[in-house]
Structure 1
Amino acid sequence: MSPLPTTLPDWLALLESRHAETHIDMGLDRVRAVKERLQLAFSCPVIMVAGTNGKGSTCAMLESVLLQSGYRVGLYIKPHFLDFNERARINGEMASDDVLITAFNAVEAARGDTDLTYFEFTTLAIAHLLSTSEIDVAILEVGLGGRLDAVNVIDADVSIVTSIDIDHTAYLGDTREKIGFEKAGIFRAGKTAICSDPVPPQSLIDHATSIGADLWLLGRDFNYQGDQQQWSFAGRTGRRNSLAYPALRGANQLLNASAALAALEALRMTLPCGAQETRAGLALVELPGRFQVLAGRPTQVLDVAHNPHAAATLAQNLGNMGFHRFTYAVFGIMDDKDIDAVIAPMASVIDHWCVTRLDSPRSADPAALAEKIAQLKPAGAKAGDFSVTVFDSPADAYANALSRVEENDRIVVFGSFYTVAGVMAARKSSLH
């Protein structure tokens, strides 16, 4: 048997090489078996968050409010942009290489001859790390779906489903009803189950009822209202008035914030959060790559929008930003996405497209993307008002956009985590 890696990059390389040989088996038996051998259990409340869009924002708001309230918080969030360590946070700080390596070693020892995918292995490792850390609450973001996601081997005290839209159809189904059923798989009997989608699929409601979960629905059990200065939240047992808007920008953030506040209301006896701490948590929350507007001119926006619902929201948010002469897009997307429905809402806000290949075998071919986008050229567009250019990497596409943009223009980077991560890495290397 070869010795185990001693550095985090070597561990991740080993897991990736194994992953290529491990068939993705859509079941939890293997993960559950290793979890039991690890004796993985949480002695604090666990909040689990699933959904097509809004998961990361909801997790970040929960973390921020709970940290402001003085609690020790463990967070598992994904994917990462630059460093794997971003996926595991303890008290607002990324986990160190050393504690992650220790957790990987623990999973490897418990695994025996059970094959695990990269995602299953790392999920167990981070859950083990959080469960053995001194924390008051754990927040776990679900990856794909819910019912069969590796995170779902853990029982949550409060489960949140943020939104249900069409994505990952090969695994989750091609209707909101099928996908809603998969997301509802994180609900537990007798525990709080929150759904902040304004139009929840009946399948989600039926599943929550059939297992005896305590279902909280937006508009029935909790709601929000706001004006231009502030907003308020009403739950089952109380109201929170005069709240600052979340620091995360965009049209759906009050839905996400309401889901977070509903979860905190459900846990108010164990984890009470004061009004001032709640306001501060929402005002100070940060999350890279979700309608993230960079400082300075020209305006630059990073957004991981990669499905129709997220793209429509991004287009709306860009439309609300005020006048910009031209908008340049750095755009790359995975081939298995509903590409036509992602670019359709963006066509009205983008003038110049810098289309890129992504560093993944699933990357859509940029030349084929360019052909699709060329058909969206507005009738009567003058020369110089519309263009589509193809690049081999997000860094090259971004460099081209930067070279052409003027102070009153803007750049929007979207289409995939890989697109945003590629631009983040390029910006980081240009600073050094």
Structure 2
Amino acid sequence: MDALSDRVIRMAGPPEHMVLGLERMRAAMQELGIPERLPMPVIMVGGTNGKGSTVACLEIFYRQAGYRVAAYTSPHIWAFNERLRLDGLPAPARAWADALDAIATLAGSIALTYFEITTLAAVKILCAAQVDLAILEVGLGGRLDAVNAFTPDCSIITTVDLDHQVWLGTDRLSIGREKAGIFRPDVPALYGDGENPCATVLESAAHKQVPLYILGRDFDFDVQTRRWQGFGQELPMPVPLWAVAAQWHNLALALAAVRVLQKKLPVPDAALSHWQLRAVLPGRAQELRPWGPNTPRLIVDVAHNPQAVEQLAGLLAGQKGRCHAIVAMLADKDIPGTLKNLLERVEVWHVLEITDTPRAARAAHLADCLRELGAERVEFGTNLQGVVQTLLSQLSADDMILCFGSFHLVNQLPRHWLEESSP
């Protein structure tokens, strides 16, 4: 844990005493002089999966058009200051420290959560930086998430599926209702579940009189022709050529948001169809060969819920060679529902325990779940690097090492492997 993250933990109120709600955020914003309507346009990005990818695409489009862009995301992988990017780079640690100093004055009167403190600090930093656009990723849910204390100019819901059920509800309809809490009357919104839209998202949009644009109905991306279509327009899309179809959907959402906000933040077609900058997407369905061309492939994904791992299974389905999976997860996730999606593709499972959070699932529990699901070969590992080194001596260049299940596992891989190989 780095110093900034440790400081926020010490500043936050006891997590067991916290309940979801915006009262603390609004009280803190008033004390700090932070308005709900920020001085720059705001794109709010919520959903179960695909938020980080959508944010990264938005960053590319607007930065290529010459705008100064702030992108607030969570969680971080390696360092706390990754949570806010200013023009593609993590906000300086000094800026974070100064913002936390200002928020510390509230510690005695408002018991803020870790995420609330982080969100307030990030907004103070991006306001001081006088960016042209703020892209704010919703941390959990939507309606009662700290980010939702701010007023968006465009709202995006990527997908709705099961995750964080303890907080958001046990079924997709309940979760969709919470996600749709980021909608505002007369503020345009985009939704990415084109094939199976959640009824409560559609109902919320209609009730609030939200102009809602849906993937597959109002805009879409043709993977075969690599062309985006929507709002009576059509644009070619070049690299990055992501292997997972969901990433193309996220790209389509981002481009649709640009079109919706065209009058507020004009972006020329060239900034959309000719990419000069690189999207930073570490840990999202990345296929690497960090040990050289004649070594096994390493596939890395932070996927940790059923929908995300189902998409990952689609990527693996068409690949040859043996697949050894290294997995570690948090105990509050749907572990059986997540792991079952890879049973037919994984030959050997290597289970680990995450050591940097009390929320970690025990390796023995992961192993029991896999055996109950029908997995035949389950092995225990003591650490990620040790398992990887052992597999390197056993597997060929046609085989795969899959590392997935949590941000807390992926952060144990060397940072330069993932960042240098981002599309």
Q: TM-score, normalised by structure 1?
A: 0.89
Q: Which residue of 1 aligns with 2:243?
A: 249
For the pair 1:423 / 2:388, whether they are aligned, the reply is no
For 1:183-217, what per-residue CA distance to the aligned partner results, in whole angstroms no more than 9, with x for missing partners?
00111111111111122222111212222222112
Mark the CA change 1:244 to 1:116 in structure 2 (over 3 Å): closer, same or farther: same
Q: Which residue of 1 aligns with 2:60?
A: 64
For the pair 1:13 / 2:15, whether they are aligned, the reply is no
Pick the aligned partner of 2:132 from 136, 141, 146: 136
Aligned ranges for residues 183-198 of structure 1 at < 5 Å?
183-198=179-194
Pick the aligned partner of 1:265 from 228, 238, 259: 259
For 1:341-395, what per-residue CA distance to the aligned partner results, in whole angstroms no more than 9, with x for missing partners?
11111111111211100122121111222233235557xxxxxxx6321123333
Could you tell me how far 1:97 is from its partner in structure 2?
0.9
For the pair 1:75 / 2:71, whether they are aligned, the reply is yes
Distance in 2 (alpha carbons) for counterparts of 1:402 and 1:426 = 19
Could you tell me how far 1:249 is from its partner in structure 2?
3.4
Q: Which residue of 2 aligns with 1:203?
A: 200
Native 8 Å contact 2:284 2:302 kept in 1: yes
Counterpart AA for 2:217: R
For the pair 1:34 / 2:28, whether they are aligned, the reply is yes
Q: Which residue of 1 aligns with 2:285?
A: 291
For the pair 1:352 / 2:367, whether they are aligned, the reply is no
Native 8 Å contact 1:356 1:397 kept in 2: no
Q: For structure 2, which runs of at least 5 residues remain unmatched after alignment?
A: 419-423
Counterpart AA for 2:243: R
Q: CA RMSD in A?
A: 2.2
Counterpart AA for 1:310: A
Native 8 Å contact 1:293 1:301 kept in 2: yes
Distance in 1 (alpha carbons) for counterparts of 2:245 and 2:239 = 11
For the pair 1:231 / 2:226, whether they are aligned, the reply is yes
Q: Which residue of 2 aligns with 1:173?
A: 169
Any idea what SS the aligned residue of 1:75 has? strand
The answer to which of 348-357 and 386-395 deviates more is: 386-395
Counterpart AA for 1:49: V
Distance in 2 (alpha carbons) for counterparts of 1:21 and 1:261 = 40
Any idea what SS the aligned residue of 1:145 has? coil
Q: Which residue of 1 aligns with 2:377?
A: 387
Q: Which residue of 1 aligns with 2:421?
A: none
Aligned ranges for residues 67-146 of structure 1 at < 5 Å?
67-110=63-106, 113-146=109-142
Counterpart AA for 2:368: E
Q: For structure 1, which runs of at least 5 residues remain unmatched after alignment?
A: 1-7, 379-385
Distance in 2 (alpha carbons) for counterparts of 1:181 and 1:108 = 34
Distance in 2 (alpha carbons) for counterparts of 1:247 and 1:285 = 11
Distance in 1 (alpha carbons) for counterparts of 2:276 and 2:180 = 26
Q: How many residues align?
A: 409
Could you tell me how far 1:270 is from its partner in structure 2?
2.1
Distance in 1 (alpha carbons) for counterparts of 2:5 and 2:297 = 35
The answer to which of 391-400 and 85-94 deviates more is: 391-400
Distance in 2 (alpha carbons) for counterparts of 1:9 and 1:377 = 39
For the pair 1:275 / 2:272, whether they are aligned, the reply is no
Q: Which residue of 2 aligns with 1:364?
A: 361
Q: TM-score, normalised by structure 2?
A: 0.91
Mark the CA change 1:343 to 1:98 in structure 2 (over 3 Å): closer, same or farther: same
The answer to which of 67-76 and 218-227 deviates more is: 218-227
Counterpart AA for 2:316: L
Any idea what SS the aligned residue of 2:379 has? strand
For 1:299-326, what per-residue CA distance to the aligned partner results, in whole angstroms no more than 9, with x for missing partners?
1111011111111100101123x322x1
Native 8 Å contact 1:67 1:281 kept in 2: no
Native 8 Å contact 1:163 1:197 kept in 2: yes
Could you tell me how far 1:271 is from its partner in structure 2?
1.7
Pick the aligned partner of 1:25 from 3, 19, 22: 19
Distance in 1 (alpha carbons) for counterparts of 2:130 and 2:335 = 44
